[in-house]
Amino acid sequence: MTVHDELRDILHPPIEPRTSGLLAIEDQWIYWEESGNPAGKPVIVLHGGPGGGSRPVYRRYFDPDHYRIIQMDQRGCGQSQPNAGDWASLSRNTTWTLVDDIEALRRYLGIESWVVFGGSWGSTLALAYSQKHPARVLDLILRGIFLIRNLELRWFYGGGGAHLLFPDYWQEFTAPLDPSVPVESAIDEYHKLLEGPDRAAAIRAALSWTRWEAKTSTLLMDSDGVDLASEPRSAIAFARIENHYFRHSAFLASNQLLDQADVIKDIPCTIVHGRYDVVCPMANAFDLHSRLPRSTLVIVDDAGHAMSEPGIARALVEATEKHSH
């Protein structure tokens, strides 16, 4: 049985959106869609990256009879406009503009409060949103916790440890960089390439950046995920937005999401994390769980980072069932 066969048996059947649109916010057009039961428990699905965009498969983690499923493409990516894949400016793309976009969408849809579901960068954004608007959050379902601490960025992008597990992929990741520059400066060096005048070099850099994450996100290689990361326009958006955020520590103070965890201590929360997650090490989930007394930590022993891995998918479906009432 392949991974995709397993997912077919774990996830809910495919569904189509009931409605969708573009929400105008300042000079941005934010794509959103709604599926499932219009009278069900509302849930906002926050995709990863930043810059990853939503996918149809995300709807399948929720029982459509029980949930009113809301997805959005965060500014600059997916079907939102203007798009970073078309070299749009990122000057007004920050964690806090995204938090404001989420809140604007909630008001536009007339939702009083909702479940917030997010993985990887989506978990970061879910925490930032819930800490700013705790009264609007019914439950939290988080996966692959990413707290944007300096140690996490060094681990994955600065030669802090992940490269020792994947030296072949790391060699590909660092190939576009000047070999005389310390690897600790990889994020800044990639910024020069991604935002430089040589568009061909920027595209090559974007593909190297996205493939590094795609190749290390699963315990076993997911060739479909790597292929998805190899589409140039989406790779440019993904790499530019991620690099922009990571250069600015996601516009968060050092350790902010843990230091302010007390704000959301009364919100029921399920945390799902793969034991062999190299992109966002499991210590992140352990640290967050220790700060949230109403959280449940589910460790998936046969998985890495991706929500498409069967063990993580199964745990997320169980979590959405638990929080559906």
Q: Which two tokens stand for residue 188?
A: 């800044």
Round to whole Å and give the CA distance between 285 and 303: 14
Under 8 Å CB-to-CB from 110, ≥6 apart: which residues? none
Beta bridge partners of 300: 274
Query: Is 223 designated active site?
Result: no
| Catalytically annotated residue among 47, 133, 191, 305 | 305
Cα 179 versus chain centre, distance = 30
Query: Is 277 designated active site?
Result: yes
Query: Is 188 designated active site?
Result: no
| Catalytically annotated residue among 35, 54, 80, 120 | 120
| Catalytically annotated residue among 47, 273, 277, 289 | 277
Tokens 């039961």, residue?
37
Round to whole Å and give the CA distance between 239 and 53: 12
Beta bridge partners of 24: 29
CA angle 310, 152, 144 (to 5 degrees): 20
Active site residues: 120, 277, 305
